[in-house]
Amino acid sequence: MTTREFLTNIPMFENLSAEDLNLLTLLWHERTIRKSEVLFRKGDVGSSMFIVEDGAVEICVLSGEDQEDIRVSTINRGGFFGELALISGLPRTATARAIEDCRLLEMWREEFINFLSTRPIVAISMISEIGKRLQATNELVTSMASKNINEEMDEQMSVGDRLADRVADFVGSWKFVIYFLVGIGAWCLLNIVELLFRPFDPYPFVFLNFILALVASLQAPLIMMSQNRAQIKDRLRAEQDYEVNLKSELMLQQLHEKLDEIKAAPPRKRSVTKKKQPVK
């Protein structure tokens, strides 16, 4: 039988009183499933929620023309899933399969509804918690839709990171090449031709070689820092593109399923109304 510690880890039940939690613990039923056994499939009627007492369960969705399973989450010991089925009773939106031998705790929707009918305060508390979760989900979706990786990384950049990017941008431009060649030419000219003063770095330009070596040794790590940050940006963009493509693929799959259901539905007969003849 489940304990109050398990229930307090579930957002819908964490704010309930001790008396309500004690009554709620009586509604759970033990259930065991073997490795690779399917607990429920997408489209099945949602009639219960589960808590993983021991083992692990994967939540998968179908994707692609080959209808391959894509794991979206893994529920380990102490985790829970299917809680919205207690309220809505709508069909499951994913498939749950055991990764290893599991011992679960199951609560049936009918018993839970009867429990709520006698404890209206619990129902109000759960509705409030569900409302908070929906609001948090809306905020998360809004932030993900408007998320700009470049802007977020720019806000987190330090002064050294900005300096490294500016050095990399300047070194990789024609302006730097022109300035570099002009500077080297002027240096060599001043130290070869004796005009107003003696050469300060005569041939073979030992001091110039030292400066060039110092500049090269500083440029290399700064450019590598900028390249590493660019690789991080590319990886984040790839992850974001994958998430967007996966969501779009799932939405298109659901849309195709709905279109197939509409096509498979029998056509409705049109009711023909006869015009009444005017009475002469």
- Length reported for the chain: 280
State the CB neighbour count (10 A cutoff) for residue 232.
12
Q: What pLDDT is attached to residue 1?
A: 45
Distance CA 96, CA 74 (A): 9
Q: Which two tokens stand for residue 253?
A: 């799959």
Q: At residue 85, does pLDDT exceed 60?
A: yes
Distance CA 104, CA 176 (A): 67
Q: What pLDDT is attached to residue 173?
A: 82
Q: What pLDDT is attached to residue 102?
A: 92
User: Which alpha helices (H) appear in 40-173, and where do they start and end?
Assistant: 109-118, 120-145, 149-156, 159-171
Q: At residue 70, does pLDDT exceed 50?
A: yes
- Average pLDDT estimate for 120-127: 74
Lowest mean pLDDT among 170-179, 221-230, 247-256: 247-256
Query: pLDDT grade, residue 198 (50/70/90)?
Result: confident
Lowest mean pLDDT among 20-34, 56-70, 90-104, 173-187: 56-70
Q: At residue 108, does pLDDT exceed 50?
A: yes
pLDDT digits (tens, 9 = 90+) for 93-105: 788 999 999 999 8
230 to each of 119, 123, 149, 161, how far by Cα in Å?
56, 50, 11, 11
Distance CA 98, CA 59 (A): 9
Distance CA 51, CA 28 (A): 9
User: What residue type is 150 in one-letter code?
Assistant: N
Q: What pLDDT is attached to residue 62?
A: 67
User: What residue type is 63 in one-letter code?
Assistant: S
State the CB neighbour count (10 A cutoff) for residue 80.
20
Q: At residue 201, does pLDDT exceed 70?
A: yes
Q: What percent of the chain has pLDDT over 70?
A: 72
Distance CA 47, CA 86 (A): 6
CA 107 remoteness from chain centre: 29
Distance CA 118, CA 107 (A): 17
User: Which alpha helices (H) appear in the chain, and where do they start and end?
Assistant: 4-8, 18-24, 109-118, 120-145, 149-156, 159-171, 174-192, 206-264
User: What residue type is 173 in one-letter code?
Assistant: S
pLDDT digits (tens, 9 = 90+) for 151-166: 666 667 777 777 777 8
pTM: 0.47
Q: Which two tokens stand for residue 153?
A: 């990384």
- Average pLDDT estimate for 206-218: 83
Domains of the chain in start order, with CATH, are 4-145 (2.60.120.10), 149-251 (no CATH)
- Eight-state DSSP code of residue 29: E
